[in-house]
């Protein structure tokens, strides 16, 4: 790696958005300092690096902060264009398609799924899951089109959409452990189920994705805290 490239990732181990940046850095073969933030007690560095949203991930490159996971991934691809594989295709049309699906993953899959995980009522939960599954079905079609018979959304090699979706794998597995629900059902969405297997075997993915057991514990703890808070507010 070029001398003088100082890369710090301000993150939180459980966040799939942080995992997304780790994946990009790993696929590019870039070394970085992994700084774990305590989100209940945010550091000065985080607050000054992301004053608008005060969120992780933030990539600090030679002292300059870059925020928002999809923007960070594109930054990594462009700033380190000569190093490792390209994360976006070279053809402008294919790049536009990749950008479209990356945005779709966050807006249509992650958003309702998070809603279902945080839902306070059964109705909210099932509505969130319904939208999540609808998005998964659409992504199955997207994978078929984008992969062109190869293994990834990026074709033969991993790209922006693979990284965006791949960052969710530990949480997808954790959801299956906790609730028995397979979000990428091998019967309904065989391509996605196969893709998930294939992606999780990659060295870069293994190094970036948090351990499923740890995520399960974390999720259960959060659910218990939410339930306790709800119960406490009801007994006032």
Partner 1 sequence: MAAKPDLKLLGMSVSPFVIRVRMALHMKGVSHEYIEQDLFNKSELLLESSPVEKKVPVLIHDGKPVCDSPAIVQYIDEVWAATGPPILPADPYERAVARFWTAYVDDKLFPAYVGTAKAATEEERTQQINEMFAVMGQLEEAFAQCSNGKAFFAGDSIGNLDIAVGCNLLLLEVLRSMYGVEFVDTGRTPLLAAWAKRFGETDAAREVVPDVHVAVEYAKKRQAYWAAAAATK
Contact footprint for partner 1 (CB under 8 A) = 52, 61, 64, 66-68, 71-72, 74-75, 78-79, 92-93, 95-97, 99-100, 103-104, 138
Q: Which residues pair with 35 in a beta bridge?
A: 10
* Closest CB 166 distance from partner 1, rounded Å: 20
* Closest CB 75 distance from partner 1, rounded Å: 4
Q: Which is nearer to partner 1, 52 or 231 (CB)?
A: 52
Q: Which is nearer to partner 1, 32 or 216 (CB)?
A: 32
Buried b (16+ CB within 10 A) or exposed e, 26-50: bbbebebeebebeeeeeeeebeebb
Q: Which is nearer to partner 1, 71 or 227 (CB)?
A: 71
* Closest CB 141 distance from partner 1, rounded Å: 9
Q: Which is nearer to partner 1, 78 or 211 (CB)?
A: 78
* Closest CB 74 distance from partner 1, rounded Å: 7
* Closest CB 146 distance from partner 1, rounded Å: 13
Q: Which is nearer to partner 1, 71 or 228 (CB)?
A: 71
Q: Which is nearer to partner 1, 103 or 207 (CB)?
A: 103
* Closest CB 131 distance from partner 1, rounded Å: 14
């Amino acid at each position: 790696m070029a001398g003088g490239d100082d890369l710090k990732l301000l993150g939180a181990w459980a966040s799939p958005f942080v995992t997304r940046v780790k994946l990009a850095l790993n696929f590019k073969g870039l070394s970085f300092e992994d700084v774990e933030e305590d989100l209940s007690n945010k550091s000065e560095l985080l607050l000054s690096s992301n004053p608008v949203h005060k969120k992780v991930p933030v990539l600090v490159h030679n002292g300059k902060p870059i925020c928002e996971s999809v923007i960070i991934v594109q930054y990594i691809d462009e700033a380190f264009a000569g190093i490792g594989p390209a994360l976006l295709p070279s053809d402008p049309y294919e790049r536009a398609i990749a950008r479209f699906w990356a945005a779709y993953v966050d807006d249509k899959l992650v958003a309702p799924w998070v809603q279902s995980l945080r839902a306070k009522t059964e109705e909210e939960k099932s509505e969130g899951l319904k939208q999540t599954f609808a998005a998964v079905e659409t992504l199955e079609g997207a994978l078929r089109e984008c992969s062109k018979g190869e293994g990834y959304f990026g074709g033969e090699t991993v790209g922006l959409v693979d990284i965006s979706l791949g960052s969710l794998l530990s949480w997808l597995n954790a959801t299956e452990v906790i609730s028995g629900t397979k979000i990428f059902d091998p019967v309904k969405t065989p391509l996605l189920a196969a893709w998930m297997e294939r992606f999780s075997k990659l060295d870069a993915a293994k190094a970036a994705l948090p351990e499923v057991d740890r995520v399960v514990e974390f999720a259960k703890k959060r659910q218990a805290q939410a339930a306790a808070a709800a119960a406490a507010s009801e007994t006032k």
